[in-house]
Structure 1
Amino acid sequence: MQAGIGAVRGGLALGQVRSVKDAVRLAERVLLAGGQHRARINAWSAVCENRRHAADRVDDSAPTGARGAARQRV
């Protein structure tokens, strides 16, 4: 498949940049090899997933009775 001027592998062309996020992703696709770009996306997804799990652990660790008692003392 041959790309025309202004086209970038991954489906995002220069004319389709509508936000700063799109511009950053376009720059990454141009500057980084496909494997590096995919690795960055996978790493960020893992970070977000770890944050969700950590938030769930914090919510589950303290019993609701202890939270209520602490609020009553204040």
Structure 2
Amino acid sequence: MTISCAHTIIVVKSKSITKILSYCFDYYKPAALANTYEVSMVSMLDKDDWSVPEFVLEEIVLPPRYKKMPG
């Protein structure tokens, strides 16, 4: 399954091109999804096992300055 821009699909179909896959960005092809899970990840159950760089620990994250109003 591939996902492409709706405009691209319309143009490609109007030109009677049957190989739409070549007009899709590689990011949306099945191989990209498979590559996402290629590297195994090991969960760290204990917070003591975490290795956090010092500059990350020093970072101060503030809430947004303005509250977005509904609507």
Same fold (TM over 0.5): no
Q: TM-score, normalised by structure 1?
A: 0.35
Q: Which has the higher contact order (CA 8 A, sep 6+)?
A: 2
